[in-house]
Structure 1
Amino acid sequence: MACKLPTDCLNEIFEYLEEDKFTLHSCLLVNHLWCEISVRILWRNILNFKFHSKRSFKVEFSILSTLIACLPDESKKHLYDNKVFISTPTSKPLLFNYVSFCKALSIFGINRMIDNSLSSKDKSSLVANEIIKMFANQISSLKKLTYHIYCFDSYNNNYYVSNITFPHFSGARDLLELCCNSNLSSDFFYQLSQICRNLQSISIDFNDNIVSNELKELISLQNNLKHLTLSAFDGSWADIIPAVSKHSRTITKLNFYGSDSNSTFSFISLFSNLQELIISFFDAVDFENFKKLQYVNFPKLQILKIPYERPKLEYIIKFLEINGKTLKKLYIGESDKDLGLSIAKFCPNLKSLFIILKNDELDILKTVLINCQYLESIKIWYGKDYFIDYLPEKEIFETIAKYSPNNFCELKIFNYANSVISSDDLESFFIRWEKRISKKLLSLIIIVNEGDNYYDNISSKILEVIEKYEDLGTVKFLTKSNDKEIKEEEEDYYYY
């Protein structure tokens, strides 16, 4: 007789499968208990899937039809009376109250899902209001809320506009993460401020320079705010600074995103416990505030990411001189020789680095590898674009094999041109890697532009070499699109 695992054990095992949707879906078919546990995890955040994949619209409609089936009879009748007809997956009673499992709610995601299924925008708003009202009544403990009045969907080249009346939501008292526009109704912020005091993460997109007192009050009342993201393109976060500054002791992660020279960030100096700082600006003018920030010491700072424009060279070098020793991860989207040498000099404890090096700067890579003895992962561009010749592929491999520290185990290469390395050179690299004192498996990750296929640009001999050393356990090889890499590395302001 087969051994039956206790429910608590199954719950703990299935939690590890949260990101593995394929496996979780297969668990649905085992038995009722496995199905219930899997459904609870799958419905925790129902919009957490790749929206622009080939199956995305089918998945969206499947979710929408299930939500329609979950609606109370009163709401179904209201939609029917208004000639809104959306098929449901079954005419039989549903096995579970799927809505009650939800812990994350995206107003934008719901609106887009409905808009993709209905042609009438008026009817879309009607459906959205009924669904959100159902969520408000049936979710007992909401953990994440994403609420934007409008948002641009680059895939469909379309703006999605929310035209809903946000209901009283008692389950929001347990809210941990809020993503929203600054110009939402003051009633919405007032409602949250009355019941929600334990937000750990707030992301705000500033629009039209509208910041209500209710939003400021909501921020001020939080007890343990840790992460803050401020995004501004057609607005400014200046009015929010006093409320945010009250949390200077608890906030450990700050993310600034946008392009607005009026949005100062010199108040960062107040955050003495800062561990992670991300500044994603598209205009160097926005970095004038960094002139003062360069002298500030952040004794706990471990992660610094500046993926687009960067401050003036002398500013960032001075900042690294003061703060570089504590950094574990550094990502700078623009670089030059002096900055590369400064990284090697001032950041000896780095574990992960993204650096841009030109064709004549191989010595910088060598210096970084020698000086940063804790380095485990590095991302480098190779090839040639319209303006810059980057490091040649062969020289990158040779330098990594010869000078990388013992803990090094991950090489990411952005593929700006077709691979020109020979199969013999690649095999020589793998052989040298095998002979290292440290027997770490090397993760070799080739990053390509969205829509490109790395395998179309390499010879069968190179594939044979890769497969050979994968079988020997020397290397783990994979490719990923640049879009996915950007999302993972930069952690920009994304709407779900």
Structure 2
Amino acid sequence: MDYLKNSYQKPLFDYIRFCRYLHLDEIVKLITTNEIITNIKNEIFNIFINENRKYTHLYIPYKFNYKIHLIPGAKNCLSEIEFLSFNAGIDDDDIIIGLTEIIKSIKGLELIIEENNNCEIVRLIEAPKKLIKVHLINNCIQKGQNFCNIYLNSLTTHANTVQYFKVFDQTTKILSSFVNLKVLELGSEYESDWGCLENLSLPFLQVLRTMFIPIQSLANLIENTSKSLIEINIDNIFHYRYDNRRIIQAISESCPNLKFLKIVFRNFSSSELEKLLINCQYLSVLYIITCEISFDWNNLFRILTRSSPISLFKFRFRIFSKVPVPKSESLKLFFNEWKGKRPILLNFNNVKNIEAMLNKYEAEGIVKHFNNLRGDFEWESP
């Protein structure tokens, strides 16, 4: 074999000892893409797993079949793992049982569900002493209800400690068990009934991020959060004007401590948006999605300049295709009326040929920063 014909000098410095993230999928790729004999495979794993290594994050891929728990030094190497990403499609029960005996300090768990799953995974789910973050990824085309019930029931073991829960599947039956939940991310790739959210009470919820979740269900959930929400991010859900009014009204009345809001806004909901701005005095980031062909930019800008709290200075607008972009006259109206307030950080996804005008308002201290990016971006620090 070619790789045996060449000799390599051992590095003078052990760089791996400083690594804290162990992606076993990358090691598997290295081994499977080369004709490596068993002894050399063992040596490769021994390089990464031994008494001189100490990892905090471990990623175990689909069909992983190497008994890493039997490697000398594995217990010391993996005993302080804080985050585990584990694919449930693993055949070898011994690996799961062995890791369960070693990994007790997990605070974050990412569980990837496949068509064929090993029920012994429940051992790993129940093993952590204080599980805080849970992310479930369901790759099944046909949802395996029996297995889902098994792992969902095992998660209730951590009902008092879980504070972060993310799932893109309708597995919300256990949400009411997470009495101390602070961050909830929900989504679905298909239309489904999320009525189970309507009577759900999460009194300590601070962050709500959703995709494709019906507005009525979200409105009820928001109203049952004991006014604790500081971030609401509602994305990728088409809704009619009455639903738009309903969700904005729910936020206005139930989220006095809100700091970040991403939401669709329709002309029909002008009075509700104005009330929201008045009631949410800590709001600093407003991300508005526009989808109406007859969208009234002048009306929106008047509301923003008239009713925005002093904390609000970061604006982002995502404009759907066929929706008119704001004209220069509308932007000038907005900037002129904003004069005397905190300088704006501003983003549009497809507004063009306004750089010269923006330079003028930047020089006047009305606009602090502008960009025209399509994807998500980090706001410039104030």
Same fold by TM (over 0.5)? yes
The 5-angstrom pairing of residues 381-400 of structure 1 reads 381-382=289-290, 384=291, 388-389=292-293, 391-400=295-304
Corresponding residue SS for 1:361: helix
- Which of the numbers 308, 320, 336 marks the counterpart of 1:431? 336
Partner of residue 309, structure 2: 405
Asked whether 1:320 is paired with 2:226, we answer no
| Residues 409 and 176 of structure 1, relative CA distance in 2, 3 Å threshold | same
Q: Give yes or no for contact 1:129–1:164 (8 Å, CA) kept in 2.
A: no
- Which of the numbers 371, 380, 390 marks the counterpart of 2:279? 371
Equivalenced residues, count? 359
- Which of the numbers 477, 480, 489 marks the counterpart of 2:373? 480
| Residues 428 and 139 of structure 1, relative CA distance in 2, 3 Å threshold | farther
Asked whether 1:175 is paired with 2:76, we answer no
- Give the AA of the match of 2:209: K
Corresponding residue SS for 2:134: strand
Asked whether 1:469 is paired with 2:361, we answer yes
| Residues 246 and 422 of structure 1, relative CA distance in 2, 3 Å threshold | same
- Give the AA of the match of 1:430: F
Residues 377-429 of structure 1, C-alpha deviations (whole Å, 9 max, x = no match): 111123x5xxx537444443332222111111211111324873333432342
Corresponding residue SS for 1:400: helix
Partner of residue 142, structure 1: 55
Residues 19-61 of structure 1, C-alpha deviations (whole Å, 9 max, x = no match): xxxxxxxxxxxxxxxxxxxxxxxxxxxxxxxxxxxxxxxxxxx
Structure whose residues are more often helix by fraction: 1
- Which of the numbers 167, 171, 176 marks the counterpart of 1:256? 167
- Give the AA of the match of 2:19: C
| Residues 421 and 125 of structure 1, relative CA distance in 2, 3 Å threshold | farther
Partner of residue 133, structure 2: 227
Partner of residue 204, structure 2: 300
Using structure 1 for the length normalisation, give the TM-score.
0.64
Residues 87-114 of structure 1, C-alpha deviations (whole Å, 9 max, x = no match): x9xx7764532211111122345566x5
The 5-angstrom pairing of residues 69-468 of structure 1 reads 80-81=3-4, 94=11, 96-109=13-26, 121=33, 123=35, 131-137=44-50, 140-149=53-62, 165-167=66-68, 168=71, 169-170=74-75, 171-184=77-90, 185-208=92-115, 210-213=117-120, 215-234=121-140, 235-236=143-144, 237-258=148-169, 264-288=171-195, 290=196, 293-310=197-214, 313=216, 315-323=217-225, 325-333=227-235, 334=237, 335=239, 336-382=244-290, 384=291, 388-389=292-293, 391-417=295-321, 420-436=325-341, 440-446=342-348, 448=349, 454=350, 458-459=352-353, 462-468=354-360
Distance 1:479 1:108 in 2: 37
- Give the AA of the match of 2:230: K
* Offset at residue 174 of structure 1 (A): 0.9
Corresponding residue SS for 2:165: strand
Distance 1:435 1:125 in 2: 72
Structure 1: 5+ residue runs without aligned partners? 1-77, 150-161, 449-453, 489-496
Percent identity for Structure 1 against Structure 2: 22
- Give the AA of the match of 1:206: I
Distance 2:23 2:200 in 1: 37
Distance 1:342 1:193 in 2: 44
Using structure 2 for the length normalisation, give the TM-score.
0.81
Partner of residue 17, structure 1: none
Corresponding residue SS for 2:95: helix
RMSD over aligned CA atoms reads 3.3
Corresponding residue SS for 2:84: strand
Corresponding residue SS for 1:297: coil
- Give the AA of the match of 2:164: K
- Give the AA of the match of 2:184: L
| Residues 481 and 138 of structure 1, relative CA distance in 2, 3 Å threshold | farther
Structure 2: 5+ residue runs without aligned partners? none
Residues 146-189 of structure 1, C-alpha deviations (whole Å, 9 max, x = no match): 2221xxxxxxxxxxxx7663523331111001112112232332
| Residues 163 and 224 of structure 1, relative CA distance in 2, 3 Å threshold | closer
| Residues 480 and 211 of structure 1, relative CA distance in 2, 3 Å threshold | farther
| Residues 356 and 195 of structure 1, relative CA distance in 2, 3 Å threshold | same
Corresponding residue SS for 2:264: coil
Distance 2:18 2:293 in 1: 52
- Give the AA of the match of 1:96: F
Residues 116-149 of structure 1, C-alpha deviations (whole Å, 9 max, x = no match): xxxx845499998765442113762111112221
Corresponding residue SS for 1:373: coil
Q: Give yes or no for contact 2:186–2:211 (8 Å, CA) kept in 1.
A: yes
Distance 1:125 1:443 in 2: 58
| Residues 444 and 125 of structure 1, relative CA distance in 2, 3 Å threshold | farther
